[in-house]
Amino acid sequence: ESVRLLLGSANRDPEAFERSVYVKKTDRAALVAELRRARKSGLLVALGTATDPYQPAEARFEVTRRLLEAARDVPGVRLSITTKATLVARDADLLAEIARGSELSVNFSITTADPALARRLEPRAPRPDLRFGAMAALARAGIETRLFVMPVLPLITDGEDDLRALLGAARAAGASLAESNVLFLRAGTRETFFAFLAAEFPELVAEYERLYAGSAYAPRRYVAEIEARVARLASAAGFAARRRCERPADEPRSRQLALVW
């Protein structure tokens, strides 16, 4: 029997997302059939676009591991995993098996190498150095790893020194690519983020109101400056960088198979 975790809630209470964990079950045959359909289509199967596939509950339910065991039996599938967690290192051997027969990348979401700042931004996520350790373990196993610098937070994680340290640590841990995206504040997310900002960085609220006045996006000039900074610092660290919008045409977000059952 294969299962998948769905973290969230049907109501609109933002805190419910962190309190409620739903476990959905399906039979293995159905999952393998979906993966075979994904292989036939050639489209990318992306895990971790909505919620972390290695969230703490995964240690108990092993949802992601069971999905990966099915993927191992469907060679040729295209698979990517995005996570903030160190638990992914548990599956290094299994991921290495998949990588030998399929296209696989594991993307680590890390926005700062500063442990004190990371604790303020992501109080329930593993420390950055522990995530880099997991990245290094996978890289040693022959698995392609990437750094996701998403989101870059204006006036918080966008500084020259912070980004240099982050990109240097990722390269040292074996990352082959850095992908970045400046903070985007759509309705719903905006309100939650500004409440966080008022609590943790009240001195920046006015500047964020100016940057995101009437728009979900920061000003183009600022975004271009940060993108150029990331590209320059990544190059200096010895690897490539790209913006999220520069993903190849064969990595479409809109046509991605959902693996929903």
Residues 89-142 pLDDT 10s: 999 999 999 999 999 999 999 999 999 999 999 999 999 999 999 999 999 999
Look at residue 24 in the predicted model and tell me its pLDDT.
76
Confidence label for 6 from pLDDT (cuts 50, 70 and 90)? very low
Look at residue 260 in the predicted model and tell me its pLDDT.
47
Q: How far is CA 8 from CA 13, 16, 166, 195, in A?
A: 10, 6, 30, 20
pTM: 0.87
Q: For residues 160 and 190, is the Cβ–Cβ distance under 8 A?
A: no
Structure-token pair, residue 254: 């809109």
Confidence label for 25 from pLDDT (cuts 50, 70 and 90)? confident
Minimal CA–CA distance to 81: which of 138, 152, 18, 141? 138
Residues 152-173 pLDDT 10s: 999 999 999 999 999 999 999 9
Per DSSP, what are the bridge partners of residue 47?
81
- Taking the C-alpha atoms of residue 227 and residue 152, their distance in angstroms, rounded to an integer, is 10
- Taking the C-alpha atoms of residue 114 and residue 52, their distance in angstroms, rounded to an integer, is 22
Contacts of 100 (CB under 8 A, 6+ apart): 142
DSSP 102: S
Confidence label for 17 from pLDDT (cuts 50, 70 and 90)? low
